[in-house]
Structure 1
Amino acid sequence: MESKSFFLGSFRASPIFFGGGLFFVFLVLDLGAADFDSRFFSSAAKQRAFQTQIEAILNAEDDIKLADRHYQVAKRTNAKDPRLEFAAGLVLFNQFEYDKAGTQFETATVNQQAIYLPASQARIVLHLMQTNRDAFLADTLNLTKLAADVQTEWIGSDQPQAAAGWLGEVMAFLALPKVEFLKPEELSQHEQQVQAALSPTMVLYWTLGKQKFQRKYEAFKLEIEEQQQQVKDQIESTSDKRTSRLDERRKKIEQQKESARRSAAEWRTLYDKQMDKTKKQLSRIQRDYTALETVAKRLSG
């Protein structure tokens, strides 16, 4: 990253890229879950100062100038710390600067000289959003190194398990029928490669990760089904009310017909006028009902 006005030099207005769908909803919360290790710092004061700047970068959100100021301060404190690159990558990610964000996440892992879990997660999500299959396969297998490398000192005690579990969630997502990111045979082969790279214990965490995603997905489906039922109930309620109103109108017409029997000409004029009005109302009711049915069909998939 450049030392002068990094964010201001990198930011540009970009259209929102909708990708990843349900997977992104489930996983984006994991991107900010980095557990920063105090062993990077020689003093507690230096650690606190750097951590404060990192948090300030992330909290700046859309204020690019503010994020840039905190980035410059943090870089003077510890320019080589991979967390600095990761925080900058998250800001770019939130600004939909996906290519530049990917570069920052990659720099974070290179500077660490090991797999930095949140940065690796972010890169994998980017690959999925950009349909970058080859890079996705490579980074997914690369992430298994974190789950296997239990001796790396900087890794927190739960990092290998978290990496294996998160990979399980990724695989469960890819197995959904409508995802079609990989062909079934490609997905099966890739799962075998991932499992082969993990220890039996980590395979257990990998399996638990798959089950975790499946539970979240089932809960999501139940929520959607409940919303669909609410729409159906609304349609039925609306239909019943309008049918009742229509009956009332018909009764009124009959009363008007009875009162007009004394004069055939008067009765015919009144009847024709009321029936024409009723037909228009029926047509409008039918259009409204059809529109509600269309909404229900769209929500039901």
Structure 2
Amino acid sequence: MGRIIRIGTRDSELALWQARTVQNHLRDLDYNTALVPVKSTGDIILDKPLYELGITGIFTKTLDVAMINGDIDIAVHSMKDVPTALPKGIVEAAILKRANVSDILVHKGVNFLENDGTIATGSLRRKAQWLHKYPTHAVVDLRGNVNTRMQKLQDSNWNGAIFAAAGLERIDLKPENYIDLNWMVPAPAQGAMLVVAKDDDVYCKEALAHLNHKPSEICVHIERAFLRELEGGCTAPIGALATLENDAILFRGALFSLDGQHKIEVIKKVKIGEEQNFGQNCAREILNNGGKELMSKIKKNLK
């Protein structure tokens, strides 16, 4: 039966759902597993917007440390929370089949869309895109796991809050009163689950290789290469989505100013098999089209 694979995870309901999904896949392959929940800094500090904390990988760092210390063998993450550069000695071991990539608005009635309104989100990307479409609205900060955020919305006088559809669907928390924000460019790797392992752990890497979904891997790697080339972190208002269409990969990427007034977008297509450097090249097009100056302003304003 081999050794027990210790699966590290955040202790929120969604994170545990994701870890149990990986656990079930491994058990189906006759691997012994055990869950090891930990609380991340991003789950503890809820009174500040994420970008003000100034920590790259705020939801993943605790698990990285646990893995390096030998307390866990693998870790399961929402891939959009993972920095584009992994810590030394830790590698991608599996990207599971991607779920719904969309953002959705959970609302208390949509009449406000044509008037003044207040929307909640902890994401600079979502805030910028909302203000780009609805410049007269107010956007307030919303932090916490999905259950906490949903409760805060119910207890508030806000008109709505923006969530990743995949997160709510995974734990059966998606309400009836929502609308798909098909116009909003999702976060790079949104809807994808990543499992990491230590680079020298051949046993775990071989086990997790069975779980990898190649089409999802191709798409999220393009999106994350785009993100890395633009700014190397995850605080700027950047959206990216790659999708497979027959024998081609369609990519849409966008950079927004913090107030949503400025948008620089790229839409391109490439044949499958010719996608090397595709994400980087799309990012360079944005940088050469005013993105370099916009990124400098964003970084200056976030200091």
Higher strand share: 2
Q: TM-score, normalised by structure 2?
A: 0.27
Higher helix share: 1
Structure (1 or 2) with the larger CA radius of gyration = 1
Q: TM-score, normalised by structure 1?
A: 0.27
Q: Which has the higher contact order (CA 8 A, sep 6+)?
A: 2
